[in-house]
Amino acid sequence: MRIADFDGQAKRSPVWAGSLRWLAIVVAFLNLGIHVYLAPMHLEEKLYIGVLFLIGSAALGVVVVGLATDRDRVRTLAWLLGFAASAVMFIAFVLSRTIGLPGGYLEPWAESTEDILGLVSLGLELVFCGCCIASITTDRAVSRMASAPTLAHRVLPLHDRTAPLA
């Protein structure tokens, strides 16, 4: 992300902000793989659960592509979609293990490989949400730094700062 400084030069957001985005892409891709792998099993078990897995997988696919683009608006939408999808998947998993979902869908926490993959996906969803929150706060901090007056603004007289000093 580039932000114009007071003298027209561009500032870059911190280096780790790009790493954060790529971590989120990897996490979303891994979560996508888990959900695609589990979708056929859930389609056989409860049709609507399997369909929800496919919808969640499609959303994660859009998130991976959106975060990999260079367009800020697309990336912002991808962050929001990824956060929403991860939060809904997290809540649905926890509900399916505690009070159950409609149609009597109540699963054990960790009896099979499917359950272990579900627990792994919980961790991935938490990491993605953390990356999203950190990305939003980083972007805001960089925006504040770019718009804050610098020492040069306070010391230089109030004439046109872009004009030559001659």
Per-residue pLDDT tens digits for 47-98: 999 999 999 999 999 999 999 998 889 999 999 999 999 999 999 999 999 9
Indicate the length of the chain as a whole number.
166
Q: Flag whether 43 is in a domain.
A: yes
Q: Flag whether 3 is in a domain.
A: no
Q: Flag whether 148 is in a domain.
A: no
Q: 19: exposed, middle or buried (C-beta count within 10 Å: 0-12, 13-18, 19+)?
A: exposed
pTM of the entire predicted model: 0.76
Q: Is the pLDDT of residue 153 over 60?
A: no
Which residue in 82, 92, 81 sits closest to 122, CA to CA? 92
Q: Flag whether 78 is in a domain.
A: yes
List the alpha helices (DSSP H) in 8-71. 15-45, 47-68
Q: Flag whether 9 is in a domain.
A: no
Question: Mind listing the pLDDT tens digit for each residue in 90-146?
Answer: 999 999 999 999 999 999 999 999 999 999 999 999 999 999 999 888 766 555 555
Query: Percent of the chain having pLDDT more than 90?
Result: 66
Amino acid 4: pLDDT: 42
Amino acid 1: pLDDT: 45
Q: How confident is the model at residue 155 (pLDDT cuts 50, 70, 90)?
A: very low
Q: How many separate domains does the chain show?
A: 1
Mean pLDDT of the chain: 83
Q: Flag whether 33 is in a domain.
A: yes
Q: How confident is the model at residue 41 (pLDDT cuts 50, 70, 90)?
A: very high
Distance CA 9, CA 71 (A): 20
Task: Identify the domain containing residue 53 by its residue range.
Answer: 19-138
Q: Flag whether 63 is in a domain.
A: yes
Q: Is the pLDDT of residue 160 over 60?
A: no
CA atoms within 13 A on the CB side of 35: 28
Q: Flag whether 104 is in a domain.
A: yes
| Residues forming beta bridges with residue 12, ordered by sequence position | 2
